[in-house]
Structure 1
Amino acid sequence: MTFRTSASNGLSRRIFLASAGAGLLSGMLPAASLAQAVGRIIVPFPAGGPADFMGRLLAEKLKDLLGRTVILENRPGAGTRVAAEFLKNSPADGNTVLLAPVDPIFIGPLIYSNMRYDPPVDFKALTDVTGVQFGIAVNAASPHRNLGDFIQAARARPKEQAIGISTVGTLLHFLAVEFVAQARIGSTLAPYRGGGQLVTELLGNQIAAGMDATTTFLEHHRAGKLRVLAVAGEKRADALPDVPTFAELGFPNLVASSRYLLYVRSNTATDAMSQWSQAVRKALAMPDVREKLNRTGYDLLSGSSAEEVAKYSNGLAARWAPVIKASGFKGD
């Protein structure tokens, strides 16, 4: 992969700051004007995947909690930029929200020069929804029984040990860059058009290893078709308690995970933001929702305040922005 240095206008403007204005109401009393309108949850990934499943699960529950119809719309493409741009161009009436990972929001301005939106200006994050872990996986028939086996083989025969990644210009991409550097291996990073294509080639033994969200690998890991060697979270993934973290395996700096957040237009009315955030927190507390999200591979969260979202987002950006800038990667 060819990297070149990209310009930055300064982290103070580019790092996404979540809004502190989304207070929670003590009761759920939808405003009459909102109760009559259809709510839309925009998901930046295709139908049929884990993110689509999560969005549809929430839409089903929020219909009753908000007292109005809530539908899901898939707006995939351009590393979540298509969906984010759609939100920016939607009315700030509290009827449209974006359910998306946090990392493309703060990474985008660091690597793309043609962004049509400015995250800290155009969007506000209301609450987190789920945690997303990243992992490295191989075919179950691979001779690499653990991460050490893969590293040893990659040092000896790097051209044969390419690592597929499902996206570029994302936290996953730069985690893979850091893994290659810290493990001192010469593996090539091979970008794919999504996790589905990556998994297909892993199952077909067409690539040695793959890195993606654990939600991509979970079903095949449980079925004994793929083997997840390590995850990158601060702790083991809720759905993969048998898989060690990179930190446990001698890589204490390879700690990275993302979260799905709920975003609205920045000038959305406070009461509308409060209704969405409280309804999501109520949905996340439902036992059947928690069971289904865990089974899909997400780390369970209970929702958070806007201040907590801001603290998390800023910490993630502070850790990874220097890595992204040092890589010299430019997305366009």
Structure 2
Amino acid sequence: MKIFSALVNFTLVLTLAVIALGAYTRLTDAGLGCPDWPGCYGKFHAPVLDHHIADAQEKYPHLEVDPYKARNEMLHRYIAGVLGLAVLAIFIASHWLKRYRILASSLLLLVIFQAALGMWTVTLNLLPLIVLAHLLGGFTLLCLLALLRAEISWEAQSSSAVAAKTLAEPALAKWIGFGVVSLLVVIAQIALGGWTSTNYAAAVCNQLPFCEPGWQERFSFAQVFHLPLGHETYEYGVLPYEARMSIHVLHRIGAIVTLLVLGSFLCVCWRNAQTRVMQRLVLAMGFLLLLQITLGLINIVALVPLWNAVAHNLVAANLLMLLLVFLRQMVLRNPEKVYGHNQKYIAEC
């Protein structure tokens, strides 16, 4: 179990790295750094040397070969490939251990689908809907791995009668509905952020609190959710200014709603949490929420600086992950019912 736990920890960290690299690739406009998939200009490495660049240019004369963008894209693919192998190892190990097979199977199916989305991202020339699905798939993979890691930890605790009692949080149980609403709000806000990024709308408005004067007259919900289809390429965006502005403004409104809803939920949980574990999770989420708002403001004022935007992406992923683990912990009021193989032992204690 120690080896399996270490494998899950490694895969969790690797997933964070892939999410960061994916954001870096997208923000450096390197999503089409390699026009083919899974290789790059017909090879399995980026064209860095002069003769490689010349060969790539000869094969794709209608494209401008950019070694920097190609290197970013291939690095992302390499690390994502390692992540896929790590998830496969988790799947095999879970069936050998005869534990966590549902989560492990879900992880494997998701990583296969993620690979397909990565391919379609290139072959469909950065179609926003596909790029957004790829982003959300990465966040979902991180959350499933976090739940698997938490399940391993909770199972270890449930073997001790004293520790098992610390799993229960009856005072928080009545707030689970509020928590689910908060989770849905966070997911919606992350999706809006991804939609803003994939449509190249992040730097459209640079004034506070919402946008430049007169934005109310040009704002349109219909344009926010309009799917731009039928274009040869979606690199650098295809939507008009009014549509991008509407997307950006809605994301800012979503940030305010998220701050109010999630902030209220965390305040309620802080007052009702009885264990240090839950209190620390609340503090961690509160810190991440405030950090995320700060990073968002910096994005606006400084016109989306690269590393700040990457951090904005990573903080969102971690906030979602912690919130999901927290909600899972809230429903563990009767751990002996959750882990059937320890039920008799805990009952006797």
Shorter-chain TM range is under 0.3
**Which has more helix, going by share of residues?**
2
TM score, norm. by length of structure 2: 0.25
**Which has more strand, going by share of residues?**
1
TM score, norm. by length of structure 1: 0.26
Higher relative contact order (CA 8 A, sep 6+): 1
